[in-house]
Structure 1
C-alpha cells in the first residue's frame, strides 16, 4: 500500500545505518496499473532513483518482468511522491467523470454515447476509456461488475489524504482537495460503497 515519502526516507536511513561499514541501497518503487496490470504484466513502476544511477539498469531489468513502463523519477522517496501525485489526479478525474456523466445522462444523453464523445474530445481520459464509473459503459471493467475488486475506495481516500498532507508540507495549493477528500471519505463509510473499487464514487455521487 502507498505510504508517505517521509516514511520512505526514514526507512532508507535505517537500512543504511544497519550496515555502516558496507551500506546497502534502498529504493522506493510504487506501481500503478491495478490487479489487471499485475495479471497482464503491464504495471507502471515509479522508481525513486536517478536515470543515470548505475543501479538503474538492474532495477529496470527486474521490474520489466512485471511491468512495461519503468520511470526513474529521481532520488529516494520521489517514486512515492509521483505515486501520490498520480493517485490524487486519478481520484479527481474519476470524481469529475462521475459528475460529468451524471450531468449528461440527466440531460438525456445515453451514457455510452457520452463516453464515446469524451474519448475524442478534451474531456477524454484513461478513466473514461477504461474504467468509466457508470456501469455498462465499459463491460469488462470492475465498474460493470458491481465495483467488485480493483482499487478500494478506502485506499483512494487514504492516498488523497496522504497527498494533501504532502502538499501542506511543501506549500502546494490543492484547490480540489477538500471537496474530493470529503467525497471519498463519505463513500468509504457508505455501506453500499465501502470495500468496492474507488470508481464506486459514481454510485455515491449520482445515485444518492
Structure 2
C-alpha cells in the first residue's frame, strides 16, 4: 500500500537511543528534521554532523510541532513525556497538531501514555491527529545499526499502520503491531522485565561456572549451545571480555543504564499488580537493580553491570 510519507519530521529527545535513531531516520529518508533536546550541546553536535540544510534546531517542543508533519519523541520517564507534550506555551500540544502523527518511543507507564494520548486527540477539534506508543528494544548498538525492534500500540489492520511501518522501518528491523493503544508499552514492559531477569540470571550462572573453574568464554559458548541459550549471553555477556565488542567489555560505558532498568522493572511490577498478574522473581530482581543503581561504582553504567554488583566485594 502506498503511503503519503512525511517530508518534515520533528524529533524530541536525543539521548543514548534517540541520537542514533534520529541519525538513521536522516540517513534512510530524504526528509528534513526539526530537533529539540534539553541539552544544547547534543543539539549542536547532531546538527553539525547532519547533511547540509536538512536539520534545524528548534527553540522548544512547540516549534517542533509547528514545523513538522510527523513528530517522534523518546525521553527517559513519564514525567518527561508529560513535560514534552503538555507544558503550556512551549509543549508539543501548544503548537499546531492538526493532521499530524505523534509517535512516542519512550518506555513509560501505560496510564501516562494514555493520558498524553487523550490530550493529543483533544488538541485537534477536527480529530485528524494521531498518537501511538511505539517503544523500542535492541540497545544503543542496535540503534546505531538500524536493527532495533519497535513494539507498536496499533493493530495490524489499522489504516495508519502502513505509514507507521514505513516511518519506523528507516530506523529498525522489526516493526511489530501489538494490537492497539497502550499495548506497545505492555509488550515493552514485559520484554524488559524478562530481559532484566535474564541478565541477572546469566550473571549468576557465569559466576557459578567460573567459581567452579570454567573459563568464562568456554562457559558462555556452552550456554549458547544448550537450553540456557539467550541473547544477553551471546551478545552482551555481563562478564568483561566474553563479548569483546559489547559495552560490558568496555567498562560498561554506554548501553542501557542500570537505573533505567531499575525504572522499567518497577514499571513492569506496577503493571503486573494493576493487571492481577502474579510475579515470583520480580521482587528479588528489582532489589538487585535498586542496589546496583544506588551504588556510585555502578550508577550510569550499562545495566549488565549487575554482574559486577554480584561479584564485587561490598564496602
- Give yes or no for the alignment of 1:39 onto 2:127: no
For 1:59 and 1:187, how far apart are their aligned partners in 2?
A: 37
- Give yes or no for the alignment of 1:81 onto 2:175: no
**Superposition pairs for residues 4-83 of structure 1, below 5 Å?**
4-83=109-188
The TM-score, its normalising length taken from structure 1, stands at 0.98
> Structure 1 runs of 4+ off > 2 angstroms?
20-23
- Give yes or no for the alignment of 1:182 onto 2:287: yes
RMSD of aligned residue pairs (Cα, Å): 0.8
Tell me which structure has the larger Cα radius of gyration. 2
Structure 1 counterpart of 2:52 = none
**Superposition pairs for residues 57-206 of structure 1, below 5 Å?**
57-206=162-311
| Structure possessing the higher relative contact order (Cα contacts under 8 Å, 6 or more residues apart) | 1
Which one has the bigger strand percentage? 2
Per-residue deviation, 1:23? 4.1
For 2:289 and 2:199, how far apart are their aligned partners in 1?
A: 11
Contact 1:15 1:23 in 2 (8 A): no
The TM-score, its normalising length taken from structure 2, stands at 0.65
Contact 1:87 1:159 in 2 (8 A): yes
Deviations 1:48-100 (A, max 9, x none): 00001011011100001000100000111110111111011100000000000
Which one has the bigger helix percentage? 1
Deviations 1:97-156 (A, max 9, x none): 000000000011110010000001000100000000000100000000110110000000
SS in 1 for 2:163: helix
Aligned length: 208
